[in-house]
Structure 1
Amino acid sequence: MNRVLIPAEPSGPLPSAWRECVGTGRLNLALRADYQESAALVQREIGFRYIRGHGLLSDDMGVLRESEGVTRYTFTYVDQVVDSWLRIGLKPFLELGFMPSALASGDQTVFWWKGNVTPPRSHDDWAAMVRAVLRHLIDRYGLDEVRTWPIEVWNEPNLTVFWEGADQAAYHRLYEVTARAVKDVDASLQVGGPVLSPGSDEWWAPFADFVAARDVPIDFVSRHAYSSGPVQQVPFGVYQTFERPQALLDQFDAPRRYLAGTALAGLPVHISEFNTSYRPDNPVHDTAWNAAYLAPVLAGGGDLVDSFSYWTFCDVFEEADIPTSLFHGGFGLLTHRQVRKPTYHLYAFMARMGRSVLARGDDHLVCRDDDGRVTVLAWQPVGGSDDGPYGSAPATHELRLRVPVASDVAVVRRSVNETEGNAWTAWRELGRPRNPSERTLDLLRDASTPAVRHHALSAVDGHVDLDLVLGQHEVTLVELVPVRSDEHPGLDDRRLLGQDVVG
């Protein structure tokens, strides 16, 4: 096996797009203790900048209330949610949706929690509500702060389940009315769309033409990315086929390709949702395969877009229904009660990577910090469904690197695979308990801890040779920390058992 020679000079900084935003269940769920505990853990160990979810304007947030012919805007829940985010360093990535029942033109809803997806019966009333929401947020949090929050108009209007009839002209009208209302409040507020789901790139050109022809404000464009196929339904869950990881990167790149040569070319691009499966009940989300699959996406996605937001940070989530088991295929990086999944560790590993990129390959990302610490993220390459059934990947994957270093190094390696750092595997071995006891939860949290190994390497001619054998579906983080010895006179580890001790 050939050894990969890592360059001594960096090619540039590691883009931060992978941690710019993370997804959440509907905003009302942020009022729950389990949600807040999960968010605090994620921020301590990963540290996202923005958070995006549905339902800011849905009935359970109580923004638009009517009584005896009197309309009132109420922000009790909005304030509690935004306050809880800001306390832990998360800024809102605002999605304006869904439609309050009092303003809706129809009764079509989506999800178990029944978000209304019909146009407003009065666009003037919709615009008034948008202005009221933004003015309140500015009054509470300050104009300079709210100017940093992207404001997205609706969610996946190209799908009939999210926008009545997937009516493109109706969405264009909603976008124009909303964007102008946003700018009425303050011209520096950031507004964008069209928030497309995968498979509808034919919407880009008409949207760009409409915005340009009518000089409609737009500061960024957004879309979503998933790589799963048709649903195979089973009780309380689904299975799906998958494309290869490159399919996600191709979707990331789509807005720039389709908008090249239009008035929207060059705008920031946000992938405001992405994952493997678009279903919140697909067990693949809980697996080590999911982490290995997404490793090259996190390593390379920042070259293509300004942000890509993992959907979602935790399993406090109720789109398909209330989850019926601890592990149920939820989108979350964390289960309920803060059990870390393998993909959580992929993100935590990325958070420990160095600032500057030395090398990227099909199975590795190598970075360095200014203090000489070198970090290696390595993974077993996995493909889509054409690779065969789950568990048919090779038992091991080998990677040999020659890494430039300035001194001898201590090597610390953290690993997650099918047997290490994998609470889902332990849960299956425990009989798949749907409602585990506290003792079992403690066992699962212990099982979710990555395996840690360490040793020392001596530099030869300014480099060390790093040989890695990865297990099935493994993602591993290796830190090469420069050794700077301190003097401890009299210490001699050979004498720990008392040899040659003079009384």
Structure 2
Amino acid sequence: MRIAVPRQPTARLSDAWRHSVGTGRFDLALRRDHYESLALVQREIGFRHIRGHGLLSDATGVHQPYEHAGERHVRHAFTYVDQVVDTYLELGIAPFLELGFMPSRLASGDATVFWWKGNITPPRDEREWAALVRAVVGHLADRYGIDQVRRWPIEVWNEPNLEAFWSAGQDAYHRLYEVTARAVKEVDAELQVGGPSLAPGYQDEWIERFAEFVDTRDLPIDFVSRHAYSSGPVQPVPFGAHQTLMPASALLEQFGAPRRQLAGTGLAGLPLHITEFNSSYRPDNPVHDTAFHAAYLAPVLVNGGDLADSFSYWTFCDVFEEVGVPTTPFHGGFGLLAHRQIKKPTYHLYTFMAAMGQQILARGDDHLVTRHDDGRVTVLAWAPADPGGGEPVDGHTVRLSLPLGTPDTRGSAFALRRSVSEDAGNPWAAWREMGRPLAPDHRRLDALREAAEPARSHRNVPVTGGRADVDLVLARHEVTLLELTPVVDETPPWWSDDRLLGLGDA
């Protein structure tokens, strides 16, 4: 059945999907590959904020205690922090600050997480921790201007409901939040501070208790945050992991959960930020590299803005070392980009979203139709992606009647189509066909970048009664972007394409 797309917009397209994106640890931004990857992402997608771990970890060198005249003092050093933030702002993206992990010489214990050993214990001196928070936030305000830093959300810690990220339990996190939030507001009352940055799988009681604590103690809070992943238990293999996946709708359910859980509390109505989301929570799950992944996440990007004020893809590139240094260009990393700026299919899902108009004309289980202010109509369509292992659909068809102009408009439209699928724009498949080389030479890297480009096609579509009928036949796990632009024919009267070779009558 052909879907008649309405002429009048039904809503504005939310840009919650581009509010923020994840990175690895904070200091990775000092690396060349990270910089080049972020520059590419910002040119072609354009995120507004970037969030990562380790702002206060030892590698950034902020917390520098020393002894003098028999007393302990602390120098707060910003050599690396300034370089990273300067780079972000140069590339048109601002920090979404995560306050963690604990500097080792302020930590109350030696428990750590990740290959790079982020300390996950509470501070042994709350006053010194508060002074550190005030110093960092105050320095940023002084260097970049308080008006700008007021627009940078500040999140207290990362996934404190998991023992792997916070060793001391919920009550200790509540105390950390209290000390930290008050320290932030001592710098400036209009700075945005929030939490609790929960990992999926928590019981309602966790966030409800947090809300009760914040309300009882009359603590500042400007937003609520949590994470969302849809993968099951890990099936480990050397240098990788496999996992089952829930339907993509499970991510949307997680996006919306905090508003349901916080209804009737003092936190109801606050902005909701999903500060990490992806399918798998593992940085070595090959599903992240596939065409399936783009089709799987398409309905999440299209619909997530109805449920949250932002949802931040974890992460923008594979310069990432939580489980160690990657050993191959495709290793299941979280990134939209593999190393050496190789674009994965999910990268193109984001570039396609960036090309959509702001006026929503129609939205369905397999498509989104928008219109730009200049009259162009854009269609994002995707083939079904079944995480249950069903046979991929080849030939799934989206049939649309698209409005172009008024009901009496006749003529034609220029239709430009870009697609990624199992057979197009899929560098992971090309790498597999190369024999999965561990360290491709420059010739093969160039071939992978070429294989990563979407398939492109174009044609002229007739417009009758102000409508253009299109049939989008989608290949396996295809995500496609179709742009239709009304044609203003400027062909001179003497031109004839039939005479290109100089044959025929004048």
Q: TM-score range by the shorter chain?
A: over 0.9
Residue in 1 that maps onto 2:186 = 184
- The TM-score with structure 2 as length reference comes to 0.97
Checking the alignment, whether the CA contact within 8 Å between 2:134 and 2:186 is kept in structure 1 is: yes
Q: Which amino acid aligns with 2:394?
A: A
TM superposition shift of 1:488: 3.0
TM superposition shift of 1:486: 2.1
TM superposition shift of 1:66: 2.1
Instruction: Render the CA deviation track for 1:354-405: whole Å, top value 9, x for unaligned.
Output: 1110111000000001211000000012232x244xxx21222111111111
Residue in 1 that maps onto 2:95 = 92
Secondary structure (helix, strand or coil) at the match of 1:308 reads strand
Quote the Cα distance in structure 1 between the aligned partners of 2:385 and 2:340: 29
5 Å matches for 1:173-212? 173-200=175-202, 201-212=204-215
Quote the Cα distance in structure 2 between the aligned partners of 1:490 and 1:51: 55
5 Å matches for 1:390-401? 392-401=391-400
Residue in 1 that maps onto 2:26 = 27
Secondary structure (helix, strand or coil) at the match of 1:222 reads strand
Q: Which amino acid aligns with 2:200?
A: P
Checking the alignment, whether the CA contact within 8 Å between 1:16 and 1:302 is kept in structure 2 is: yes
Residue in 2 that maps onto 1:16 = 15
Checking the alignment, whether the CA contact within 8 Å between 1:245 and 1:383 is kept in structure 2 is: no
5 Å matches for 1:119-134? 119-134=122-137
Structure 1: unaligned runs, 5 residues or longer: none
Q: Which amino acid aligns with 2:184?
A: V
TM superposition shift of 1:495: 1.3
TM superposition shift of 1:491: 2.4
Quote the Cα distance in structure 2 between the aligned partners of 1:193 and 1:399: 41
5 Å matches for 1:321-340? 321-340=324-343
Quote the Cα distance in structure 2 between the aligned partners of 1:489 and 1:147: 60
Residue in 1 that maps onto 2:232 = 229
Residue in 2 that maps onto 1:76 = 79
TM superposition shift of 1:494: 1.4
Instruction: Render the CA deviation track for 1:26-79: whole Å, top value 9, x for unaligned.
Output: 011100000000000000000000000000000000000123344210000000
Q: Which amino acid aligns with 1:410?
A: F
Quote the Cα distance in structure 2 between the aligned partners of 1:396 and 1:75: 55
Residue in 2 that maps onto 1:431 = 435
Q: Which amino acid aligns with 2:417?
A: R
Residue in 1 that maps onto 2:379 = 376
5 Å matches for 1:111-190? 111-165=114-168, 167-190=169-192
Checking the alignment, whether the CA contact within 8 Å between 2:386 and 2:392 is kept in structure 1 is: no
Instruction: Render the CA deviation track for 1:208-259: whole Å, top value 9, x for unaligned.
Output: 1000011000000000000000000000000000000100000000010000
Quote the Cα distance in structure 2 between the aligned partners of 1:446 and 1:76: 38
Q: Which amino acid aligns with 2:120?
A: V
Secondary structure (helix, strand or coil) at the match of 1:412 reads strand
Quote the Cα distance in structure 1 between the aligned partners of 2:61 and 2:305: 37
TM superposition shift of 1:501: 7.6
Secondary structure (helix, strand or coil) at the match of 1:262 reads coil
Quote the Cα distance in structure 1 between the aligned partners of 2:494 and 2:470: 33
User: What is the count of residue pairs matched by the alignment?
Assistant: 496
Quote the Cα distance in structure 1 between the aligned partners of 2:97 and 2:374: 38
Residue in 1 that maps onto 2:279 = 276
Q: Which amino acid aligns with 2:436?
A: R
Equivalent of residue 313 in structure 2, options 310, 313, 322:
310
Checking the alignment, whether the CA contact within 8 Å between 2:384 and 2:392 is kept in structure 1 is: no
Q: Which amino acid aligns with 1:27?
A: F
Residue in 2 that maps onto 1:357 = 360
Quote the Cα distance in structure 2 between the aligned partners of 1:11 and 1:451: 31
Quote the Cα distance in structure 2 between the aligned partners of 1:382 and 1:277: 15
TM superposition shift of 1:490: 3.0
Quote the Cα distance in structure 1 between the aligned partners of 2:178 and 2:65: 26
Checking the alignment, whether the CA contact within 8 Å between 1:243 and 1:383 is kept in structure 2 is: no
Secondary structure (helix, strand or coil) at the match of 1:134 reads helix
Q: Give RMSD over aligned pairs.
A: 1.0
Quote the Cα distance in structure 2 between the aligned partners of 1:231 and 1:396: 33
Structure 2: unaligned runs, 5 residues or longer: none
- The TM-score with structure 1 as length reference comes to 0.97
Residue in 2 that maps onto 1:410 = 414
Q: Which amino acid aligns with 1:169?
A: D
Quote the Cα distance in structure 2 between the aligned partners of 1:274 and 1:75: 30
Secondary structure (helix, strand or coil) at the match of 1:465 reads strand
Checking the alignment, whether the CA contact within 8 Å between 1:376 and 1:479 is kept in structure 2 is: yes
Quote the Cα distance in structure 2 between the aligned partners of 1:33 and 1:411: 38
Quote the Cα distance in structure 2 between the aligned partners of 1:488 and 1:337: 47
Equivalent of residue 219 in structure 2, options 216, 219, 229:
216
Residue in 2 that maps onto 1:65 = 64
Secondary structure (helix, strand or coil) at the match of 1:455 reads strand
Q: Which amino acid aligns with 2:290?
A: T
Q: Which amino acid aligns with 2:42?
A: Q
Quote the Cα distance in structure 2 between the aligned partners of 1:64 and 1:358: 52
Quote the Cα distance in structure 2 between the aligned partners of 1:366 and 1:323: 39
Checking the alignment, whether the CA contact within 8 Å between 1:355 and 1:369 is kept in structure 2 is: yes
TM superposition shift of 1:124: 0.8
Quote the Cα distance in structure 1 between the aligned partners of 2:264 and 2:453: 49
Residue in 1 that maps onto 2:4 = 5
Q: Which amino acid aligns with 2:499?
A: R
- Higher deviation after alignment, 268-277 or 366-375: 366-375
Instruction: Render the CA deviation track for 1:88-122: whole Å, top value 9, x for unaligned.
Output: 10010000000000100000000000000000001
Quote the Cα distance in structure 2 between the aligned partners of 1:422 and 1:191: 40
TM superposition shift of 1:487: 4.5
Quote the Cα distance in structure 1 between the aligned partners of 2:272 and 2:475: 36
Checking the alignment, whether the CA contact within 8 Å between 1:399 and 1:467 is kept in structure 2 is: yes
Q: Which amino acid aligns with 2:382?
A: W
Secondary structure (helix, strand or coil) at the match of 1:192 reads strand
Quote the Cα distance in structure 2 between the aligned partners of 1:447 and 1:409: 29
What is the identity percentage for the equivalent residue pairs of Structure 1 and Structure 2? 66
TM superposition shift of 1:288: 0.5
TM superposition shift of 1:489: 4.8
Quote the Cα distance in structure 1 between the aligned partners of 2:53 and 2:274: 15
Secondary structure (helix, strand or coil) at the match of 2:244 reads strand
Residue in 2 that maps onto 1:468 = 472
Residue in 1 that maps onto 2:48 = 49
Instruction: Render the CA deviation track for 1:418-460: whole Å, top value 9, x for unaligned.
Output: 0101000100000001110011000000000100011111111
